[in-house]
Structure 1
């Protein structure tokens, strides 16, 4: 498994991302062959080495030979391209249908559809319309269709499983888009970047485009510094513009935790204790924290001042999410303060699978380190449904699942 880190400290766009992934080793022919099976305009795609302030990078050269008018600036900047208006796939709904009916790999379909939906929803909110009715030039011109699906194909070519990224800058100033002269970040970009950490890097011009922002929103699991993992390969994708800084996106492939003998990660532990909250509110806070992505939350009975019975709330979160969960505890509970402790935990790598039993298929979670499997746990809801359906004890389902799971593991030579 490969982990990709997008070091977007100078911004990110569609062509920068695709060129960085190709420079990283993605098969260009694989990307082009799949794209040419789609009902889009004929195109040529090449890469060109460039130097950006002393950094050797790869630039994407994407052209549509049948275009009557060439783009002076990449359409990811939201310039309206009228040369494709004769096509019937100019609305978001048509793009979704094109992807769904294609022969693209399933994960490419899932990722690219998610990206387009994020852009369409942002444009729809800005213009007060239904996301599926968003017009093509607002979702992106033909170049952006190629960029978005091309990036997802490149990720598939590189077998990228997980992605993290650096906080991203937007730039400042004004930009000419289809609807007139707008401030940077463009309205769609700003809408998409809601909830994403921004970098305090100031440069005049559009550093992050709507497509680049949508990549971050749709594909990235974590934002922060370079992960504490061994680097496999580094590459640089170049943008079309020239700034006082290198207009590049650095992409890094890391050896994943699943490949290491020891699996460790940094987490923060948030705690507070209270003696004046009803049980229903505690249940509400737990449900909300888990829904927001907390790693874990649990309550411990404690004895407080004057021998009053109380509850210790313990919340495990990723370091970059600490402030968000501190605010949750301060806002939703009666506490006047939250303690935070940084620590490290050792965890098993895990993957989901399903096994065949005499009662049918059951999902299981497999915990392993390297090639050694430590445990196999059935998914409770599947096991419960099977027990009720067959009128058998739950423990019997667990026993059957464990036997089948161990056989599956042996067949895969994980033990």
Structure 2
């Protein structure tokens, strides 16, 4: 099962808080130090210690700068350092992705192109190591899925290289577009550009703690220690619970219709399926002013959405279509051919769990045989299942006799 890590950003997130939380959750500190040595740059060292933050005990990891790299780095300089390093390719790629996100946000905040950004707040060596260390730490822990809570960005004002700024600062505000954020706790900056860029780049979902089998919990301390407030980042590390089937993201398209000739729906269904839809339904509803109508719902892969939309706008009276991504869990399936009256029928078989499955004959195959033979389609469906059960039974006996 894939290792899952969830960031609980109830007191924001920063680079040093991320390193501390990962170490607190079981990342061997020596492995982190050895991994960062692959950057092949000198002038820093890592330290760790146990600290109290409010009512919580946490790990504080600091990057101590001894020489060099005190001036801001450009995106090009950062890229060269990463490319020359001995880090695993995935760590290089993800670290670069974080800095690309940071450069875009800094550029937007200060009105310059990302390539011309000098990382005054995040480009000196300590924050550079925070970013790479955070990505490397997740890699060393074997994390394959990252999720995060809504981010507490704090409130009030902060001092920066550009003077006094409101919280969240311009870079964090730009990074937070599209993410769930809120302000709570002491009036101070709680989320830094480095921390938000890390979680924005690496997390695939934001929200409440999703179902997981928690193995370890870690607390990473921030530098600030406000009174009566636990300034820490909490992480939950574990595995996703075992479940039947795989999860896929798909787009649901819906429109309300009350003025379409019902005879047209058959053609609409045929054409949305031809356009790539995987499912379509029609449900009766009562619309405004008591008018009867229907909700037409279609499921389609992301790459087929435009083709399906074209059908809905061309073949129905819809003036608007709602679209949103949904997740669906799909059982692994296969097709088993059986012979019914000399004709082939495909049996769709889905494995619900080891040793258990469900099966159903393909209706179109049975309909074709019924039309050719003049027999009721329900009889063909039943006979196809009987043949499949006999075939599956023989297969199980054959395996047991080996």
| TM-score, normalised via structure 2 length | 0.65
Alignment map for 1:96-135 (pairs within 5 Å):
96-135=79-118
Do 1:18 and 1:60's aligned partners in 2 also have CA atoms closer than 8 Å? yes
Query: Number of residue pairs matched?
Result: 306
Question: 1:56 offset after TM fit, Å?
Answer: 1.4
The RMSD of aligned alpha carbons is: 4.1
Structure 2 Cα separation of the partners of residues 239 and 9 of structure 1: 12
Q: For the structure 1 residues 169 and 41, does the alpha-carbon distance in structure 2 shift closer, same or farther, using more than 3 Å as the test?
A: same
SS at match of 2:217: strand
Quote the offset at 1:254 in angstroms. 2.1
Change (3 A) 1:187 1:262: same
- Are the aligned partners of 1:264 and 1:344 in contact in 2 as well (CA < 8 Å)? no
Does the 8 Å CA contact 2:155/2:184 hold for their aligned counterparts?
no
Q: Does 1:236 align with 2:219?
A: yes
How far residue 201 of structure 1 moved from its aligned partner, in angstroms, is 2.2
Q: From 185, 196, 206, give the equivalent of 2:168.
A: 185
Task: Pick which of 22-31 and 105-114 moved more.
Answer: 22-31
Q: Which residue matches 1:383?
A: none
Separation (CA, whole Å) in 1 of partners of 2:351 and 2:76: 41
How do residues 189-338 of structure 1 correspond to structure 2 at under 5 angstroms? Answer: 189-243=172-226, 244-257=228-241, 260-262=242-244, 271-274=254-257, 298-300=279-281, 312-314=296-298, 334=319
For the 8 Å contact 2:155–2:189, the answer to whether it is kept is yes
The match for 1:137 among 99, 120, 128 is: 120
Could you tell me which residue of structure 1 aligns to residue 39 of structure 2? 38
- The partner residue of 1:154 within 111, 117, 137 is 137
SS at match of 2:152: coil
Distance 1:47 1:266, change over 3 A: same
CA displacement at 1:214 relative to structure 2: 0.4
Q: Which runs of 5+ in 1 are unaligned?
A: 68-82, 291-295, 318-332, 351-366, 375-415
Between the aligned partners of 1:238 and 1:197, the Cα distance in structure 2 is 22
Task: Report if aligned partners of 1:265, 1:346 keep a CA contact under 8 Å in 2.
Answer: yes
Q: Secondary structure at the match of 1:56?
A: strand
Task: Give the CA deviation at 1:47.
Answer: 1.2
Tell me the alpha carbon deviations over residues 178-230 of structure 1, each in whole angstroms, 9 at most, x when there is no partner. Answer: 11111111100100011000135243000100011101210111111111222
Pair 262,299 (structure 1): closer, same or farther in 2 beyond 3 Å: closer
Q: 1:297 to 1:186 in 2, by over 3 A?
A: farther
1:349 & 1:139 partners in 2: Cα distance?
46
Cα distance in 1 for residues equivalent to 2:110 and 2:16:
26
Is the 1:274–1:334 contact (alpha carbons within 8 Å) kept by the matching residues of 2?
no
Other-structure match for 2:67: 66
Tell me what 1:84 maps to.
70
TM-score, normalised with respect to structure 1:
0.63
Whether the 8 Å contact between 2:280 and 2:296 is mirrored in structure 1 is yes
Q: Relative to structure 1, is the Cα distance of residues 312 and 189 closer, same or farther in structure 2, using a 3 angstrom cutoff?
A: same
CA separation in 2, counterparts of 1:93 and 1:261?
44
Rounded to whole Å, the distance in 2 between the matches of 1:368 and 1:44 is 52
Are the aligned partners of 1:92 and 1:139 in contact in 2 as well (CA < 8 Å)? no
Change (3 A) 1:8 1:373: farther
Shift of 1:66: 3.0
Aligned CA distance change for structure 1 residues 276 and 12 (closer, same or farther; 3 Å): farther
1:164/1:221 contact within 8 Å kept: yes
Q: What secondary structure, in the 3-state scheme, does the structure 1 residue paired with 2:182 have?
A: coil
